[in-house]
Amino acid sequence: MENKVAIANAADVRTSLSVPDEEVSRRLVAARLSARPMADFPGRLPTTLEQAYAVQSASANRWPDKVAAWKIGKLSAPDRERFKAERLAGPIFKSTIRTASPGACEAMAIYEGGFAAIEAEYALELGCAVLPSDKNYSDEELADLVRAVYGVAEIASSPMALVNELGAMSVISDFGANAGLVVGPKISGWRSLGPESLFASVAVDDFTVGEANPEPIERNALQALRFLIGLSASRGIALAEGALVSTGALTGVHEVQARSTAHVGFGSFGSFEVKFQPAAPKQ
């Protein structure tokens, strides 16, 4: 990866929130900083996508780190119908990104007592900055924005055990329920690879929990990038050259516990392991 940590300009987005939403943001950030589990959403759930992303931006402003990547996820069927949207996005912070050598094991922190999972994904590395605009990118233009593709593991975790059950408003507000990214093997020749050449697998504590031949990268992953570019433009966020975009689960969302070990494989391209440990309070 030529630029292992590129800063995406998100934490500088100014937001205008109601007093209750500001308090939600403060409580979400405080729970993560203290690594303290939460039994429920800390206040009134947002009712619109705009409101949820405003809470997310306010929390990014409060967080003591820079945004270096983005995670994309799909909304549940009820939320897709309710909000007329297919995907959601959340920030990934610089200090939570690791690069795994072939066969290496990376230690990643999760919120004990909350929600935690691992997802095998493809991450797109941007070869140039993408500034907010109303440009409508063709598939070819989207592909040309991508410098490299990697097999990665998104570490999904939140102090809220019910973050997913509460729906998209909860997930978006809490950084997309992200807790980090492990960057694995480079997927060479990605523009010409079909499903027969692509394979992803996840095992947790030596038990295989997911395997798949994913859709071609030029199909699903590029559509995730298209979504992020449009969403970022609407929020006034510039995507930096070298920023990583983790484009969604390939084999499913696999729950893990502190002290579990996961093996994440991408067929002939390589594999790595992730050892989970409890998140410690931040000073």
- CA pair distance 159, 35, nearest whole angstrom: 7
* Domain assignment present for 182: yes
- What pLDDT sits at residue 195? 80
Nearest in space to 154 (alpha carbons), one of 253, 44, 37: 253
Report the CATH number that the domain containing residue 129 is assigned in CATH. 3.90.850.10
In a domain, 192, yes or no: yes
pLDDT, one tens digit per residue, over 235-245 is 999 999 999 99
Q: Within 13 Å, how many C-alpha atoms sit on residue 278's CB side?
A: 9
Residue 13 inside a domain? The answer is no
In a domain, 10, yes or no: no
pLDDT, one tens digit per residue, over 197-251 is 999 999 999 999 999 999 989 889 999 999 999 999 999 999 999 999 999 999 9
Is 87 part of any domain?
yes
Quote the domain boundaries for residue 178.
19-278
For residues 91-105, average pLDDT = 96
**166 in any annotated domain:** yes
pLDDT, position 16: 66
Give the number of domains in the chain. 1
Reported pTM:
0.94
Secondary structure (3-state) at 33:
helix
Residue 5 lies in a domain: no
Position 4 in a domain:
no
7 — pLDDT class (breaks 50, 70, 90) = very low
pLDDT at 157 exceeding the cut of 90: yes
The pLDDT mean for the chain works out to: 94
Which pLDDT score, from 0 to 100, does residue 130 have? 98
Asked if 247 and 151 touch (Cβ cutoff 8 Å), the reply is no
pLDDT for res 1: 52
CA 245 to chain centre: 8
